[in-house]
Structure 1
Amino acid sequence: MKKTLKDYKFKNKTVLVRVDFNVPMKDGKVTNDNRVNAALPTIEYLLDNDAKVVLFSHLGKIKKEEDLKKNSLMPVAELLSKKLKKPVKFVNSIEGHELEEKINKMKPTEVVLFENTRFADITNSDGTINLEAKRESKNDSTLGKYWSSLGDIFVNDAFGTAHREHASNVGIASYIKNSCLGFLVEKEVAMLEKCINNPQSPFVAIIGGAKVSDKINVIQNLLKVADKILIGGGMAYTFFKAKGIETGNSLVEKDRIDIATELLKNSNGKIILPIDSAASASFANDKPIFSADQNIDVNLMGLDIGPKSIELFKKELEGAKTVVWNGPMGVFEFSNYAAGTKAVCKSISELAGAFTVIGGGDSAAAAIQLGFEDKFTHISTGGGASLEFMEGKILPGIDSIQNK
């Protein structure tokens, strides 16, 4: 068991909080504040307990010098200030005298947000540009030690990067004396552990998305605990090909056909594939052509599960007590090929008394976009992290936190 916020007294302590403010931006404005809202319970708890709160996060991909301007966290500081109804002091640096002075002068219940941690990936400690620096993403020990020196307690509340070994999570936790999980990460771990490690039967997993290669380890791990695994999305066609079914121009990973064959062979009938498809002559939002069965015409590509598959999946979900869903059933960005994802989303949301979890990523985006956000037990904030958790992997950002 990892230490949590309830294991510490925070009065007059400088608390370093790794949050996930990797939010979508347009014209210098935050366009979706879900991740900011998700961090509020931890921040407000610390403020209520008279802490000095120092926040930091990554934002976007930082690969070239132009990225330094468009990926500043300053707009997030302004948004957070409105949500907390108090000033959030923004520091336009990730290290150095200005940051240290701001933190040293903090009083209890004050909030400082410093600049994008990934700026360290293309800058040296003196601020000069070095596109090969990678100090954050390669967990530079000097940087992790420096950041740890800025506070008394480290709180990791960024589940979205928990599967990464970075200076801003593992680095700090390695050098600071006191560390714990924030409320968001604590909840993520509890929800996913209940779902994957201690599920109530019948346990149905729904796995979609484009590629089998992205989900091989997930399927292998879930075969140990799930009663059924429903496969949708582009990855279904690699399984079709493994069974000798005609896939037309559908997405097929030829180098993964042997693995798909092996998974089917070892599944003891747990893997359930679609029985028809919504197809198109091109990768476009054209009117769907529905296949009569699993076979797809040589000139068509499958872009969604078909109406017969929707009914099959709905039936297979009946009576489920635990459901985990990761990956859409089709190209849900195209309105004509969103029916499968919508139907699965709706079916899960209507299961009475079931423990239902969405493992982040595109399926989480779909559920929120379709208005089902409040109909699930839990929607993960970390696609990559939840995927690795479902694979049975240890997440370094969590593993590095002190045990109780």
Structure 2
Amino acid sequence: MAWKTLDDMDLAGKTVLVRVDINVPVEEGRVTDATRIARIVPTVRDILDKGGKPVLLAHFGRPKGQVVPEMSLKVTLPALEQALGCGVIFAEDCVGLPAKQAVAALSDGDVLLLENTRFHAGEEKNDPMMAASLAALGDVYVNDAFSAAHRAHASTEGIARLLPSCAGRLMQAELEALEQALGAPERPVVAVVGGAKVSTKLDLLGNLVAKVDHLVIGGGMANTFLAAQGVDVGKSLAEHDMADTARAILDKAKASDCEVILPRDIVVAREFAANAPHENVPVDACPADAMILDAGPATVAYICEVIDRASTLIMNGPLGVFEMEPFQTGTFAMLDRIAARTRSGNLVSVAGGGDTVAAINAAGHGDDFTYISTAGGAFLEWMEGKTLPGVAALQD
């Protein structure tokens, strides 16, 4: 890897600025899901163990460069203290006198959280003065927020060019997992891509067909590809205006010797509702008044055969409407197979994206993948082959 980790840094006696993602859900003044907070704990503890003083930089919500009291990071303090097992000091600003005084007062073993970086317009503009003001507070910069690495902001990109910098443990794990899945994977490689619209994942599909051996397309996206091949998809969600694009992706896949796997049979219903009357039919037999809500058993059986032969799998999206009974069947059966192969040590499995993580958790396989990314947009842009400014800054 071209970037440094905490293992490469001398942190003893240093003030360590740590960009973290603790943009967590809050209701009635309480954090309702502390998953993101829990994931920064190894980095903070490592810094403390190495004799450094961690100063946490983070955003919260979208205040758009204004001070919005309801978006203060102060709300995260109880959850942070519980996760870290120690007190956390809070500064009322991330730059200026409040930040300088809080940093100057730090003792060994202290953890400091600075106020929302997005309370300043210079953060999202990657303003050099903002980056310099942040950098002046510390000796070393650690980026542990892969989920924000696709943004060229002062606290993710600008600051990394001004201080000795490295990746935190969460960032390191994310980058290593993605390198293992797409950078230098063990073959055969299978990618599973689902979701509603082809138009939102054009770059992703175009990048993947040149890199993987098998591409499974599910969800509403599959309907668009089927329609582009002349299959009647009834009332199913499909982007008929994307037919030429879908055919171009199929042509590129063929030229790259990538097998595109589309539904062979389908589960259809007349209404979009849980437990709606449904039937399994061949892919070319969708009734005109019905919609496709899941992949059929023959399709899933073939996908599982492909997974059995694979060494690496990357997933972004489900096969069907997994949120509703019984249309989760195809997605859950596929996840069962991925999980079993991963547990047996025969498959490297990396997954990411909101719907994907929700489906994995709903199927009870949250601990059964090699790596599950919660990064959202950054994970998708990495899969698309794009350069992430926050990662590039560490490499430079």
Q: TM-score, normalised by structure 1?
A: 0.91
Structure 2: where are the runs of 5+ without partners?
A: none
Distance 2:325 2:127 in 1: 45
2:202 corresponds to which residue? 216
Q: Indicate how the Cα distance of structure 1 residues 115 and 64 shifts in structure 2: closer, same or farther if over 3 A, else same.
A: closer
Distance 2:323 2:51 in 1: 45
1:201 corresponds to which residue? 187
Matches within 5 A, 1:3-402: 3-62=4-63, 68-120=68-120, 133=121, 135-174=122-161, 176-268=162-254, 270-295=259-284, 296-351=286-341, 352=344, 353-402=346-395
Distance 2:293 2:61 in 1: 29
Distance 2:297 2:316 in 1: 20
Higher helix share: 2
Counterpart contact for 1:15–1:54, Cα < 8 Å: yes
1:193 deviates by 0.9
Superposed CA deviations along residues 176-233 of structure 1, whole A, max 9, x for unmatched, are 2311111111111111111112111221111111111222222222222211111101
SS in 1 for 2:360: helix
Report % sequence identity.
40
Distance 1:70 1:250 in 2: 41
Q: Indicate how the Cα distance of structure 1 residues 117 and 302 shifts in structure 2: closer, same or farther if over 3 A, else same.
A: farther
Distance 2:332 2:115 in 1: 38
Distance 1:366 1:270 in 2: 24
SS in 2 for 1:37: helix
The range that moved more, 244-253 or 90-99, is 90-99
Q: Indicate how the Cα distance of structure 1 residues 247 and 56 shifts in structure 2: closer, same or farther if over 3 A, else same.
A: same
How many residues are paired up? 388
Q: Indicate how the Cα distance of structure 1 residues 202 and 250 shifts in structure 2: closer, same or farther if over 3 A, else same.
A: same
SS in 2 for 1:22: coil
Distance 1:69 1:253 in 2: 42
SS in 1 for 2:123: coil
Q: Indicate how the Cα distance of structure 1 residues 401 and 333 shifts in structure 2: closer, same or farther if over 3 A, else same.
A: same
Counterpart contact for 2:237–2:291, Cα < 8 Å: yes
Q: Indicate how the Cα distance of structure 1 residues 28 and 277 shifts in structure 2: closer, same or farther if over 3 A, else same.
A: farther
Structure 1: where are the runs of 5+ without partners?
A: 121-132
Counterpart contact for 1:14–1:151, Cα < 8 Å: yes
Letter in 2 for 1:142: M
1:402 deviates by 4.7
Counterpart contact for 1:357–1:376, Cα < 8 Å: yes
Distance 2:232 2:7 in 1: 57
Counterpart contact for 1:159–1:381, Cα < 8 Å: no
1:100 deviates by 1.5
Letter in 2 for 1:164: R
Q: Indicate how the Cα distance of structure 1 residues 64 and 246 shifts in structure 2: closer, same or farther if over 3 A, else same.
A: farther
1:78 deviates by 1.3
Q: Indicate how the Cα distance of structure 1 residues 30 and 369 shifts in structure 2: closer, same or farther if over 3 A, else same.
A: farther
Counterpart contact for 2:220–2:236, Cα < 8 Å: yes
Distance 2:39 2:227 in 1: 41
SS in 1 for 2:394: coil
Superposed CA deviations along residues 150-170 of structure 1, whole A, max 9, x for unmatched, are 111110000101111111110
Distance 2:147 2:65 in 1: 23
Distance 2:131 2:273 in 1: 46
SS in 1 for 2:350: strand
Q: Indicate how the Cα distance of structure 1 residues 115 and 297 shifts in structure 2: closer, same or farther if over 3 A, else same.
A: farther
Distance 1:385 1:271 in 2: 25
Q: Indicate how the Cα distance of structure 1 residues 293 and 170 shifts in structure 2: closer, same or farther if over 3 A, else same.
A: same
SS in 2 for 1:213: helix
1:40 deviates by 0.7
1:64 deviates by 9.6
Counterpart contact for 1:201–1:322, Cα < 8 Å: yes
Distance 2:322 2:61 in 1: 24
Counterpart contact for 1:356–1:377, Cα < 8 Å: yes
Distance 1:389 1:358 in 2: 12
The range that moved more, 35-44 or 275-284, is 275-284
1:291 deviates by 4.2
Superposed CA deviations along residues 343-371 of structure 1, whole A, max 9, x for unmatched, are 22111111131111113332123213332
